[in-house]
Amino acid sequence: MSWTSFDTWIVVAGALCAVACALPGCFLVLRRMSMMGDAISHAVLPGLAAAFMITGSRTSLAMFIGAAAVGVLTALFTQWISRFGNVDRGAAMGIVFTTLFAIGLLMIRRAAGRVDLDPGCVLYGAIELTPLDTVALGPLEVPRVVVVMGMVLLLNLAMVGLLFKELRLSAFDPGLSDTLGFSSRLLHYLLMTVVAVTTVAAFEAVGSIIVIAMLIVPAGAALLLTHRLVPMLLIACGVAAVSSLMGHWLAIEVPSWFGMEATNSSGMMAVAAGLLFGMAWLFGREGGLVARLGRGARVSKEIDRAPRHGTEREESRPLP
Amino acid sequence: MWWNRTFVPLLLALLTLPCAASDGGFGWVDVVLLRTHNTWVVVLSTAVLGVASGAVGSFLLLRKRSLMGDALSHATLPGIGIAFAVMTAAGGDAKSLPGLLLGATVSGVLGLLVMLGIGRTTRLRDDVAMGLVLSVFFGLGVAVLGMVQRLPDAAGLESFIYGKPASIVLDDFRWIVALAVIVTVVSILLFKEFKLLCFDDGFASSQGWPVLALDILLLGMVTAVTVIGLQAVGLILIIAFLITPPAAARFWTDHLPTMAFLSALIGGVSGWLGASISALTPDLPAGGVIVVVAAAVFLVSMFCAPARGVLGRWLRHARLRHKIGRQHLLRGAYEILEADQSRPGAPDNHAFPRAELQGKRTWTPHELGRILRREARRGHIEDLPGSRLRLTEEGFGEAARITRNHRLWEMYLVTHADIAPSHVDRDADMVEHVLEAELVQRLEAALRKQGAWVPQPRSPHRI
Amino acid sequence: MKTLIRNMSPRGDAAGEDLSGHPSDIPLAVHDLTVAYHRKPVIWDVDLDIPEGKLVGIVGPNGAGKSTLMKACLDLIPKTSGEVAIYGKSYRSQRRMVGYVPQRESVDWDFPVSALDVVAMGTYRQLGWLRPVGRRQKEQAMDALEQVGIGHLAKRQIRQLSGGQQQRVFLARALAQDAKVYFMDEPFAAVDAATEEAIVKLLRTLNERGKTCLVVHHDLATVSSYFDWLVLLNMRVVASGPTKEVFTAANLEKTYGGHLSLIDDALRALRNVVE
């Protein structure tokens, strides 16, 4: 296979999206709200459709604002339904995002004559096309997506950097956070806004599947590898960036095994993140499966070696 | 305006249903009553699907795993793509539904096992496991579809994502009904086991129930529902079918069998109604309409259901506050009257300054004013000139009753402190309903022995 | 729901509001407090005045509303009626005066933070928004950890601590908060003897510094040796006052009802202390 500057740009765009998602993703995972990214990325459809129908154009800004607003609304509705209706938060989330998604589909279909908005495009994205749409940045022709995602990444870095202690506190102990004067609800909605903005910015460029995956998978992998928050954030960013590179490579390489052309890179980036998670799962220092099996074997050996009173072999079964 | 284009036809469709029969094509009656030849398959399949998913979804909701349906439905996508590729390679009918559904089932079950594996062997929580399986499997699905979409005859595979009920034919219908019936029957047969699993899995496993196997069976049924729903409503909207009807049903009842039945009913009705509306209106995809109908049922349930609905709860809470306010007010007034007596005994009802009542408790003038107005309306107390208040005859009787009950209850707390807090109802208003008459007499005797005065109400109310 | 309830109580939480008639030198004054969950009052017409600088034990049977009382004082659950004043003002304006040690189950012990991180959370209020944790806060946190005797465990992830050590982390966090009134919800629940000792020592240290500590407590046998002020609670206040006056057979029977053996044990323990 031949690697071109095209491929480099695709990987850079993917990595920027991935890292931008991994940062807030860590806090989502810690707050047990991993599915929020999935919910928001489906639910923004009516926002996109409405923005398009009102302004009649596909300019990014209107779509961006519409989608981000609906994204925040998703979080708000979920919160309301689960609080006022006493509904399990997962279920509330599911109700909200499927309904919004359905409304979005209906809106798009009703306006099908005028709207060139393919819901499939929202899900898969078209990361392969990113290098075609460039802006001049000084002497360099940079893909627009890279610029946009670079800015989003900076925004997320700024949030995590500035509000690190507040985010950590409110995720760990919302009650204490409130009694200390850091409103956990405010922080919750701030995080949701950031997630919505990131989601919308990213899927316009690369499709929502990367967003959903990168909000959860790197954070999950990092949580298996460390007990500290700062290393967790760093590992998550690393996993995110590596899966972008690996995913693109897989997207070119794997189909060729079957004699097919390159496939969708976004999907493969998610798969790559999953593979990295699998490695962390298997070989992680503590929770790792291999370490666990090893420990199990060691324990049973020790029991074997220990002086036995009875003669029954059952005593040497590995401890659960 | 865009919303006119979306919702007005929908509204019109609903409003003009009764007279739509004249528009030349098939009429609403034919559709709703399944008389039209082409649509009855579609409408009935979605209704059957709604029943099955509503029933299974109830357990999912109570197991707090509603979003597992989300994860599992996404996890079916790579299976569909791979099954298609394999069948193409084998030279068979690449889009035979059973083949595609088999592929979907296999990858769905695989996703399910990964999910349970993560949950059981790592410190990560359910939501992470779900999100992980969802995104990675879906990514794989997208990648596989990206690979196979250049194969001949691949068009239409993505309809599994959004659903295309109109494409359901009689053959598919048999599959859908068969699977839905199996799922429904299994959930009825294993009702007790699933109930236990949802309520207390720790206890279930301590009693020797195979919790893991039950979990796999439950989620396997979810996968089955998802798979048959793929074609009807698509993999995203089937999630709504699994979550929304049970959540709506939960508001109406605390009784699990009723809930499961209601949930199946809501699912079935949403499917039937949604598919009918969609069949009557051009350009309204059935999947979307069905979900919106189910969501409407959910919203109505959430607010209006008397048992657990929002409005009902607000009303009950407001009533509780009013009642406590009334008890405070009347008891306060009664104690003022008692204090004006020189010796213990039944006080006489006379007017007293409002300021005295104000000082009785920590309430703001505003708060007191509101309670007073409410009680005046009830005819318990009257405002006299010069900022004075006076209990009415009825209010005086009520005040005596409340004060008596309050003292009895306090006495009860003292003499039966060990059991009182766990007692069913701690409401001072209810003493006579909670405690037996003999106990009440003993409490009265105990109070008198302490030299306390037990008011005997002079009211038409029976104590 | 919460907003609704707030709208209904006109007194609300206006910041800095003086609650009329509450002297500003009383750490905790509770008046006519009633809290009801679903139709049922859990605590009832509670009136309390806690003088400054006391170690206060809140004692009562299971379900007597001890934790509820504490949470209602801290606005963690809505009050049905009545009011609570911390040094004469509403809780909201007096947050800096208050340190809270919740029950241990209230947080996720898997969270990726070290013991030191958790204790440093106590200093966040002096930092305010945006300013990061600096060396001074870390030293303060370390100091608090040393005081509860687990300075050597500062770097441990909190899940790797024993139950008693986790409890000490919570106490150290309260210590780092440098409050004037401490609310502790069952700090002695399921801890080892060494931790119990450490907690008692800590309570005494706080007491010497003039702090007021309210402690929800279970064990009648130790009440009289740990606390100098006692609140006997069973839905309403049975008695509140200096331990010597309040800790009597009559009061205990009013609080606990017929479990005489329990009371006997407690009184025997009391006699032992006196002798």
Partners of A171 on chain C (C-beta within 8 Å) are 111
Q: State pLDDT tens for residues B130-185.
A: 999 999 999 999 888 888 877 766 666 766 766 666 667 777 788 888 888 899 89
Average pLDDT over residues B23-48: 65
**Is B79 within 8 Å of B107 (Cβ atoms)?**
yes
Mean pLDDT by runs of 10 across the 320 residues of chain A is 80 92 93 87 84 73 83 91 88 92 84 58 64 76 86 93 92 85 89 89 78 92 90 95 93 84 85 94 71 59 44 34
Q: How confident is the model at residue B460 (pLDDT cuts 50, 70, 90)?
A: very low
Tell me the shortest Cα–Cα distance from C85 to chain B, in angstroms: 12
Q: State pLDDT tens for residues B220-279.
A: 888 888 888 877 777 777 888 899 999 999 999 888 889 999 999 999 999 888 888 888
Question: A touches which chains (3+ CB pairs under 8 A)?
Answer: B, C
Of A303-312, B103-112, C182-191, C259-268, least confident by mean pLDDT is A303-312
Tell me the shortest Cα–Cα distance from C51 to chain A, in angstroms: 23
What does the pLDDT read at residue B158?
67
- More confidently predicted of B129 and C1: B129
B284 shares its domain with B427: no
* Subunit contact B140:A92, Cβ cutoff 8 A: no
**Within a domain: residue B100?**
yes
Size of interface A-B (CB pairs under 8 A): 225
Domain boundaries, chain C: 2-101+179-274, 109-178
Dist CA A312 CA A117 (whole Å): 70
Average pLDDT over residues B300-309: 88
Please give the residue of chain B at the shortest CA–CA distance from C22. B362
The ipTM is: 0.86
Tell me the shortest Cα–Cα distance from B251 to chain C, in angstroms: 16
* Subunit contact B362:C257, Cβ cutoff 8 A: no
* Subunit contact C106:A30, Cβ cutoff 8 A: no
* Total domains present in chain B: 2
**Within a domain: residue A225?**
no
Q: Which residues of B439-458 are buried (b: 16+ CB within 10 A; e: fewer)?
A: ebeebbebbeeeeebbbebe
Dist CA C95 CA C76 (whole Å): 12
Which amino acid does the sequence have at A232?
A: M
Of residues B409, B400, B394, the one with CA closest to residue B346: B400
Q: Which of A15-19, B329-333, B411-415, C105-109 has the highest mean pLDDT?
A: A15-19
What does the pLDDT read at residue B435?
59
* For testing contact with chain C, the best of B418, B429, B430 (most C CBs within 10 A): B418
Give the Å distances, CA to CA, from C202 to C28, C118, C174, C190, C197.
21, 18, 11, 17, 9
Radius of gyration of chain C (CA): 19
> Would an 8 Å CB–CB cutoff place C261 in contact with chain A?
no
* Subunit contact A213:B61, Cβ cutoff 8 A: no
- If you average pLDDT over every residue of chain B, what do you get? 78
In the three-class reduction of DSSP (H, G, I as helix; E, B as strand; rest coil), residue C234 is classed as strand
In the three-class reduction of DSSP (H, G, I as helix; E, B as strand; rest coil), residue C62 is classed as coil
Look at residues B305, B330, B359 and tell me which one is the last residue of a structural domain: B305
Partners of A166 on chain C (C-beta within 8 Å) are 124, 129-130
> C20's torsion region: left (phi>0), alpha (psi -120 to 50) or beta?
beta
C54 burial type by CB count under 10 A (0-12 exposed, 13-18 middle, 19+ buried): buried
Residue B328 in this model has a pLDDT that exceeds 90: no
- More confidently predicted of A285 and C214: C214
Dist CA A27 CA A16 (whole Å): 18
**Within a domain: residue B44?**
yes
**Is B67 within 8 Å of B127 (Cβ atoms)?**
yes
What does the pLDDT read at residue C7?
37
* Subunit contact B128:A219, Cβ cutoff 8 A: yes
Superfamily for C2-101+179-274?
P-loop containing nucleotide triphosphate hydrolases (3.40.50.300)
CB count within 10 Å of CB A301 equals: 12
What does the pLDDT read at residue C267?
59
| Residues of the domain holding B377 | 312-449
What does the pLDDT read at residue A81?
92
> Would an 8 Å CB–CB cutoff place C159 in contact with chain A?
yes
* Subunit contact A182:C124, Cβ cutoff 8 A: yes
Q: How confident is the model at residue C244 (pLDDT cuts 50, 70, 90)?
A: confident
Of residues A231, A233, A217, the one with CA closest to residue A160: A233
* Subunit contact C80:B324, Cβ cutoff 8 A: yes
The three-state DSSP-derived secondary structure of chain B is CHHHHHHHHHHHHHHCHHHHHHCCCCCHHHHHCCCCCCHHHHHHHHHHHHHHHHHHHHHHHHCCCHHHHHHHHHHCHHHHHHHHHHHHHHCCCCCCHHHHHHHHHHHHHHHHHHHHHHHHHCCCCHHHHHHHHHHHHHHHHHHHHHHHCCCCCCCCCCHHHHCCHHHCCHHHHHHHHHHHHHHHHHHHHCHHHHHHHHHCHHHHHHCCCCHHHHHHHHHHHHHHHHHHHHHHHHHHHHHHHHHHHHHHHHCCCCCHHHHHHHHHHHHHHHHHHHHHHHHHCCCCCHHHHHHHHHHHHHHHHHHHCCCCCHHHHHHHHHHHHHHHHHHHHHHHHHHHHHHCCCCCCCCCCCCEEHHHHHHHCCCCHHHHHHHHHHHHHCCCEEEECCCEEEECHHHHHHHHHHHHHHHHHHHHHHHCCCCHHHCCCCCHHHHHHHCCHHHHHHHHHHHHHCCCCCCCCCCCCCC
* Total domains present in chain A: 1
CB count within 10 Å of CB B186 equals: 19
Question: C touches which chains (3+ CB pairs under 8 A)?
Answer: A, B
A287 burial type by CB count under 10 A (0-12 exposed, 13-18 middle, 19+ buried): middle
CA A197 to chain centre: 13
CB count within 10 Å of CB B163 equals: 26
What does the pLDDT read at residue C177?
84
* Subunit contact B314:C4, Cβ cutoff 8 A: yes
Please give the residue of chain B at the shortest CA–CA distance from A320. B121
Radius of gyration of chain B (CA): 32
Dist CA B417 CA B414 (whole Å): 5
Please give the residue of chain A at the shortest CA–CA distance from C121. A169
B295 shares its domain with B317: no
A175 → closest Cβ in C102, C117, C160: C102
Structure-token pair, residue C182? 């401490």
Structure-token pair, residue B446? 């105990």
Q: CB within 8 A of B359, min separation 6: which ones?
A: none
Residue C2 in this model has a pLDDT that exceeds 60: no
| Residues of the domain holding A48 | 5-212
In the three-class reduction of DSSP (H, G, I as helix; E, B as strand; rest coil), residue C242 is classed as strand
* Subunit contact A232:C112, Cβ cutoff 8 A: yes
> Would an 8 Å CB–CB cutoff place B11 in contact with chain A?
no
B176 shares its domain with B285: yes
> Would an 8 Å CB–CB cutoff place C25 in contact with chain A?
no
Partners of B411 on chain C (C-beta within 8 Å) are none
Q: CB within 8 A of A52, min separation 6: which ones?
A: A58, A62, A63, A66, A111, A115, A117
Tell me the shortest Cα–Cα distance from A51 to chain B, in angstroms: 10
B6 → closest Cβ in A29, A42, A106: A106
Q: CB within 8 A of C10, min separation 6: which ones?
A: B364, B366, B367
* Subunit contact B421:C62, Cβ cutoff 8 A: yes
Q: How confident is the model at residue B321 (pLDDT cuts 50, 70, 90)?
A: confident
Dist CA B389 CA B258 (whole Å): 51
* Subunit contact A99:B125, Cβ cutoff 8 A: no
Q: What percent of chain C has pLDDT over 70?
A: 84
Dist CA A11 CA A19 (whole Å): 12
**Within a domain: residue A53?**
yes
Residue B463 in this model has a pLDDT that exceeds 70: no
Pairing type for strands C236-242 and C229-234 reads antiparallel
Q: State pLDDT tens for residues B385-443.
A: 888 888 888 888 888 888 877 777 777 766 665 554 444 344 555 555 555 666 777 77
Handedness of CA B427, B432, B437, B440 (dihedral sign): positive
**Within a domain: residue A137?**
yes
Supply the CATH number for residue B229's domain: 1.10.3470.10
Q: What percent of chain B has pLDDT over 90?
A: 11
Partners of B413 on chain C (C-beta within 8 Å) are 234-236, 254
Look at residues B305, B333, B361 and tell me which one is the last residue of a structural domain: B305
Average pLDDT over residues B31-37: 57
C98 → closest Cβ in A84, A179, A223: A179
Please give the residue of chain C at the shortest CA–CA distance from B326. C81
Which amino acid does the sequence have at B219?
A: L
CB count within 10 Å of CB A258 equals: 10
Give, as one character, the DSSP assignment of residue C89.
Answer: B
Look at residues B257, B289, B305 and tell me which one is the last residue of a structural domain: B305
Please give the residue of chain C at the shortest CA–CA distance from A163. C130
**Within a domain: residue A308?**
no
What does the pLDDT read at residue B14?
43
Structure-token pair, residue B340? 């004006």
Structure-token pair, residue B228? 């048959």
What does the pLDDT read at residue B37?
54
Of A44-48, B125-129, C150-154, least confident by mean pLDDT is A44-48
> Would an 8 Å CB–CB cutoff place B67 in contact with chain A?
yes
Dihedral angle over CA of A32, A34, A37, A42, nearest 10: -100
Residue B113 in this model has a pLDDT that exceeds 50: yes
> Would an 8 Å CB–CB cutoff place C108 in contact with chain A?
yes
B295 shares its domain with B329: no
* Subunit contact B285:A105, Cβ cutoff 8 A: yes
* For testing contact with chain B, the best of C32, C35, C81, C261 (most B CBs within 10 A): C81
A212 → closest Cβ in B123, B135, B285: B135
Question: B touches which chains (3+ CB pairs under 8 A)?
Answer: A, C
> C75's torsion region: left (phi>0), alpha (psi -120 to 50) or beta?
left
Average pLDDT over residues C137-155: 90
Please give the residue of chain A at the shortest CA–CA distance from C101. A176
Dist CA B274 CA B51 (whole Å): 14
What does the pLDDT read at residue A120?
57
* Subunit contact B288:A103, Cβ cutoff 8 A: yes
**pTM for the model:** 0.79
